[in-house]
Amino acid sequence: MGEHDVDVYEKARGIWSNVLQINEADPQHTFTPSLDRPFVTLTFAQSIDSKIAVRLSVNSENVRYPQPIILDNNLNFPLDCKLLQMPLVDKKCHYPWIITKSSSCLKKKAELEAKGAIVILVDNEYCDVNSGLPKLTHILRVLKDKGISKLMVEGGATIIQQFINAHYIEKSNVVDAVAITIAPVFVGSGGLGVSDNLTSRSSEAVDTIKLFQNNYYERFGDDIVVAGRTCAL
């Protein structure tokens, strides 16, 4: 691991240790490299950047690679995605778990599984009647049954909206902490606001939500990361 990568890792470690109030002496704290269970990341297939998986030149026994979990409603996951290639190059990388609807193409499912992916089918009864998306509560239940108790949600905006709605509007208490990266760029009209579609239980639009408290700030190059624990419900 290069000196820059070590610095980035230690900064991230410091943020989450403070935000989640992790006890460094606790053998079960999130950043202990001896844990059997890897970090788990959840994202939409449409958000995948093929360069994300190899952004850092990490080569250290002290850093664990994430277990990627992909939500892909129509099983459009590309067969040449780097997430399927990296485990062939580095045995510490994990093949992705792909969550999709049971109506997805079985031929594509077989092709992905032949390349090492684990495809998890969700029956229509566990999908939202309006959006057709698998219900968040069911996804979390499935992951819990597979031994996943801690999850980092990477995005994109749709899945983050679902978690914010579930936690703050539906009061389901599924979010422990939030991290926001502030970058010195203007997104423009093509951007998608993460809180554009927040609604209350009465389907009324929600203008503002106080996301978190006990904030911590850290600079990473030109970007600033602000993180904090979610406010009490």
**Spatial distance between the Cα atoms of 137 and 93, rounded to a whole number of angstroms:** 27
Q: What residue spans define the domains of the chain?
A: 33-155
- Below-50 pLDDT ranges, the chain: 23-39, 46-58
The reported pLDDT for the residue numbered 181 is 85
**Which pTM was predicted?**
0.73
What pLDDT, on a 0 to 100 scale, did the predictor assign at position 57?
46
Cα dihedral value 194, 195, 200, 201, nearest 10 = -10
CA dist 14 → 8, 21, 47, 58, 60 (Å): 10, 10, 27, 18, 18
Give the pLDDT of residue 200: 54
- Domain 33-155 in CATH 3.30.930.10: no
Tell me the helices (H) and strands (E) count for the chain, helix number first: 5, 8
Residues 164-187: tens digit of each pLDDT: 888 877 788 888 888 888 888 887
In the prediction, which pLDDT does 160 show?
A: 83
Residue with tokens 């190899």: 54
Q: What is the 3-state secondary structure (H, E, C) of 19-82?
A: HCCCCCCCCCCCCCCCCCCCCEEEEEHHHCCCCHHHCCCCCCCCCCCCEEEEECCCCCCCCCCH
Q: What is the pLDDT of residue 53?
A: 41
pLDDT given at position 91: 86
pLDDT of 46: 47
Rounded CA-CA distance 149/140 in Å is 9
Q: What is the pLDDT of residue 84?
A: 94
- CA distances 50 to 2, 35, 80, 158, Å, are 22, 27, 9, 19
